[in-house]
Structure 1
Amino acid sequence: MIHLGKYYPPSPGGIEGHTQSLARAQATLGADVRVVVVNHAARDGRDATFEKWTRTPKAETTDGPVSVTRVGRLANVAKLDVAPGLSARLNELARNPPDVWHLHTPNITMMLAVLRCPRVAPLVITHHSDIVRQKVLKHLVRPLEVAAYRRAARILPTSAPYVDGSDLLKRFADKLTPVPLGMDLSPFQTPSAAARACAERFRERFTGPVWLCVGRLIYYKGLHVALEALKAVPGTLVVIGTGPLGAELKRKSQELGVADRVAWYGHASADELVGAYLAAAGLWFPSVARSEGFGLVQVEAMAAGCPVINTAVPASGVAWVARHEREALTVPVGDAPALAAAANRLLTEAGLKERLVAAARTRAAAEFDWLVMGGRCLDVYRGVVGRS
């Protein structure tokens, strides 16, 4: 099969990480897997995702058994990568077509390319999230989404709860098969010596308790809520990730008087990320919009034994992944005092952390392991290929 993604690691991000995990899992299960994405990296190797006028080169690479085509782009305008070579590459691959093409959305660039290539079939779509905040863009893109989704044989929302708030998904109710995201849990379940050493360095470097936020510095992650909550919680907030709101959030931390207790860590290596979860008293996941459809970093924390505090984003899978008082503590969206209170509960309530961690580890292994996810998707493909 061929996965049609947005970008591919080392580009950070939930869709990017999922595309890699699914491709690797299916290859491990014996499938022949190729990925086609836009190249996020400039010629000097830096991440140019958010740079509007930076060109990126075409690159053919491998990720273990997975072949990866990174199509070059000319620019990025209004979240649309201008990549003239993309349609030509899909048409070239369609001459020797895969059994299934698997598109990951939202992804305006790739949807346009798919619609220009009628031989991209049969098509399966993983719907990671709706376009939520960009009201004008949402309405401009809707006809494109409808056309692409009409082409699909099956559509895979990442959780059943997300469907309830999605007019787009409801329109194609007869095509839906929810398939939760998954990942390779082993680095988090069984940390390497290097990861454990990173954890020790985190504990030595930062005044405890250490609280953790992981993800791009973009609006729907709710980092401003975390900064507000930190005023009422002891310790240090370590923020792993980069993004366009970095400077604004740093100013916010200064205005709130917590700048000396926030560590803007930026990019973390794989061992550093695992070490951060091991060292943290909890993962804060204060998302504020349905653009956050799932929250895969919650699964990382769950597998690593790091307690999760998440938000009750309406009609989203966030609070379904880690459920209130079962695997996590869930607080209202945008409620900094509630986030602070939940964090303080983890510090003071006897047995709470241990109970949540044990349940979270069990749920992660049963529902969100990458081979479980890969197998579920292969079952969907078998049904699609049988029908086609």
Structure 2
Amino acid sequence: MRVLHVYKTYLPDDFTGVPRVIHALVEGMAQHGVQSHVLALSKTHGGTERTVDNHRVHLAKQDINIASAGLSLSGFGLFRRLARDADIVNYHFPWPMADLLHLLGRPKAPSVVTYHSDIVRQKNLLKLYAPVQNLFLSQVDAIVATSPNYVRTSAVLANFPDKTSVVPIGIPDVTPPAAALVESWRDKVGEGFFLFVGALRYYKGLQFLMAAARETGLPVVVAGGGDTTEWAEMGGPSVRFVGPVSDDDKIALLELCRAFVFPSHIRSEAFGVALAEAARAGRAMISCEIGTGTSFVNLGGETGLVVPPEDVPALGAAMRTLAAAPDQAADYGLRARARYENMFRAEAMAGAYLELYRQLIAGR
């Protein structure tokens, strides 16, 4: 089986969010003999092809970027060539150019949309784009959401109940961090802190975490790329910004922390892969109820605590609760690890997609 994945960015330019999910999926598929190809855009590597681990990446030159949506003229010809040889085309939504690739390219292979998120921020442009979006989603063969929570709360997915199913995002297992690396981080930031890991983006709710840190005085470590200028002074002396970290560093920090705190406050945070990584590490979690997959990964009262979004007193109270009750935090962590084993392994995600692909091919 040959599968073509289509998304706006990928390695070597981007390995966060959706690209990381695509990588876990295609590498899981490789274990079943599936040949995976990824079509993406690149400002610096356009027109090139490369092998990444066990799959092939094809990069078209990005000509323009409008509202975080890259466009490429050469991408249309590249898509037609790649789709011609594909048994399945899997689009990763949202990316408006993918809609056009499908509607104009008209691939013969069955098509799947992995629906990662509604379009949340560009509301004015959405009014113009909505007819194209709805036509695209009506024509594809299957839509896969990443959590039942998102299916229940997405007005877009409500229009396509008969073709929508749920496959949770899965992440691969990792080896424990080297003892020397853990000790190095212990020397830098201590232990028993509250950890945030992620890009410092508008929807991550960092302003509320900073306010809660200042209010409680509890230690917080923030790891991730982005401009910290606006946040650095808000959190006070108990907050440490450590910048972007490698996967190994992230695993070491998770081993040292008391709990993982994830204050994303709007629907742009559709799932929260970082929460799944915290569950994999067996750490209690604090997240916000925003009607998305964050409350699917972190079950309130079972794997951690769930608080209202933008509610600094509630966030601070949750942090105080786990700081004062290490046994409870540890119990949440054990339950989180068990939930990861049952729900969020990369192998399970790959297996579910493979079954869907086979059904669609057989149906044709």
* TM-score category, normalised to shorter length: over 0.9
Q: Report the identity percentage.
A: 30
Residue from 199, 221, 230 that aligns with 1:251:
230
**Greater shift after overlay, 318-327 or 103-112?**
103-112
Instruction: Find the aligned partners of 2:344 and 2:362 in 1 and give their Cα distance.
Output: 26
**What per-residue deviation string (whole Å, max 9, x for no partner) do you get for residues 303-355 of structure 1?**
112221111112x1111111011011111111112111111211212520121
The alpha-carbon distance between structure 1 residues 386 and 93, as it changes in their structure 2 partners (threshold 3 A), is same
Are positions 1:270 and 2:247 aligned together? Answer: yes
1:120 Cα deviation after fit: 5.4
Instruction: Find the aligned partners of 2:48 and 2:253 in 1 and give their Cα distance.
Output: 32
Q: Which amino acid aligns with 1:191?
A: P
1:270 Cα deviation after fit: 1.7
Are positions 1:348 and 2:327 aligned together? Answer: no
Contact 1:212 1:280 in 2 (8 A): yes
The alpha-carbon distance between structure 1 residues 142 and 59, as it changes in their structure 2 partners (threshold 3 A), is same
What's the counterpart of residue 94 of structure 1?
83
Q: Which amino acid aligns with 1:379?
A: E
What's the counterpart of residue 48 of structure 1?
none
1:257 Cα deviation after fit: 5.7
- After TM superposition, list the pairs within 5 Å mapping 1:1-388 onto structure 2: 1-10=3-12, 11-39=14-42, 42=44, 56-95=45-84, 97-119=85-107, 121-184=109-172, 186-187=173-174, 190-193=175-178, 196-243=179-226, 246-247=227-228, 250-254=229-233, 256=234, 258=236, 260-314=237-291, 316-388=292-364
What's the TM-score, normalizing by structure 1? Answer: 0.88
Moved over 6 A (4+): none
**What per-residue deviation string (whole Å, max 9, x for no partner) do you get for residues 82-120 of structure 1?**
32211110111133x211100111112322222221125
1:271 Cα deviation after fit: 0.9
The alpha-carbon distance between structure 1 residues 82 and 133, as it changes in their structure 2 partners (threshold 3 A), is closer
What's the TM-score, normalizing by structure 2? Answer: 0.94
Contact 1:305 1:361 in 2 (8 A): yes
Contact 1:209 1:234 in 2 (8 A): no
Name the Cα RMSD after superposition.
1.8
**Greater shift after overlay, 65-74 or 198-207?**
198-207
Contact 1:90 1:120 in 2 (8 A): no
Instruction: Find the aligned partners of 2:243 and 2:10 in 1 and give their Cα distance.
Output: 18
The alignment partner of 1:177 has SS state of: strand
Which blocks of at least 5 consecutive residues in structure 1 are unaligned? 43-55
Which blocks of at least 5 consecutive residues in structure 2 are unaligned? none
Contact 2:283 2:337 in 1 (8 A): no
The alpha-carbon distance between structure 1 residues 207 and 192, as it changes in their structure 2 partners (threshold 3 A), is closer
1:229 Cα deviation after fit: 0.8
The alignment partner of 2:118 has SS state of: coil
The alignment partner of 2:280 has SS state of: helix
The alpha-carbon distance between structure 1 residues 9 and 212, as it changes in their structure 2 partners (threshold 3 A), is farther
